[in-house]
Amino acid sequence: MNAQEYSAYLKNVSVLPQVEAYKRQTYALLNIREGGTYLDMGCGTGNDAMRIAELTGTTGEVIGIDTSEERLEEARVQAAPYYAKGLSIKFQHGDAHCLPFADNVFDGCRADRVFQHLQDPIQAFAEMARVAKPEGNVVISEPDWGTLRVTEPYHPLTERVFSILPNGVRNWRMGNDLFALFRHADFEIVNLTVWEDEIQNFETAKEVFRFEYLATMAMDAGVVFPQQVDEWMRTLEEAEKFCISLTMFIACGTKRRVS
């Protein structure tokens, strides 16, 4: 996907009631206050950074970092109406494993569906902890792709197609590992929320979970054959009832104040 396609994809996904609900939860856990300074790590095309900026007001600041200059440029374009309101949102290139900020500068740090892709989640978390102020909150939300299930209709090929997920997502069980990540860093008040995201519309699920992309990966790996994929997709699409679910985890911890 190019940046514009990715932005459109994220916007389509973000308006789903399930996604809106868990995102609101991440904002609440971040404990956003007017005039605060917040980091959105792996900001993509900036949708969440803009939402957070509305909550910080004109006296606050939000910084979004990402590794893709193309997405950052798209974020700056999308943020034009927010700049016009006097909101301070900065988008800059940065590596989660080595954040370009001094220690103790952010009132809160957030990452949404980022850690599943990182080479070293422990190092990236240490960086978030480093740049957060004492008593600042760090909030991370991640899926556990091992929980992805099509509960209706049953098809024997579904599990085979989904078995390709470890090939496409580096840390595919990341959601399930979040609590340990926070505990390892000795954070206070670790809160873990579990969200069961369920979609009952095939076309929506097809876009959100990128069935065609997964099927292509499975075919390339020799897990399934093209004619099998066609029959699988047709069965899911024409079923009287359709339901797919995925478990999301949201973890929040407060950085300890050094005495």
Residue 230 above 90 pLDDT? Answer: yes
Query: How far is the C-alpha of 118 from the C-alpha of 95, rounded, in Å?
Result: 10
**Is 209 within a domain?**
no
Domain residues for 14? 3-144+170-198+247-254
Terminal Cα distance for the chain, rounded? 48
Residue 217 above 90 pLDDT? Answer: yes
**Is 218 within a domain?**
no
Residue 96 above 80 pLDDT? Answer: yes
**Is 221 within a domain?**
no
Residue 168 above 90 pLDDT? Answer: no
**Is 223 within a domain?**
no
Residue 1 above 70 pLDDT? Answer: no
Q: How confident is the model at residue 126 (pLDDT cuts 50, 70, 90)?
A: very high
Per-residue model confidence as pLDDT tens digits over 198-207: 999 999 999 9
**CATH code of 97's domain:** 3.40.50.150
- Name the strand (E) or helix (H) holding 168: helix 165-168
Amino acid at 116: Q
Total domain count, the chain: 1
Residue 196, pLDDT score: 87
Helices then strands (H, E): number in the chain? 12, 7
Residue 4, pLDDT score: 67
Per-residue model confidence as pLDDT tens digits over 5-54: 766 777 778 778 888 999 999 999 999 999 999 999 999 999 999 999 99
**Is 182 within a domain?**
yes
Q: Considering only CA atoms, which of 194, 186, 206 is closest in space to residue 251? A: 194
On whether the CB atoms of residues 110 and 140 are closer than 8 A, the answer is yes
Please give the mean pLDDT across all residues of the chain. 93
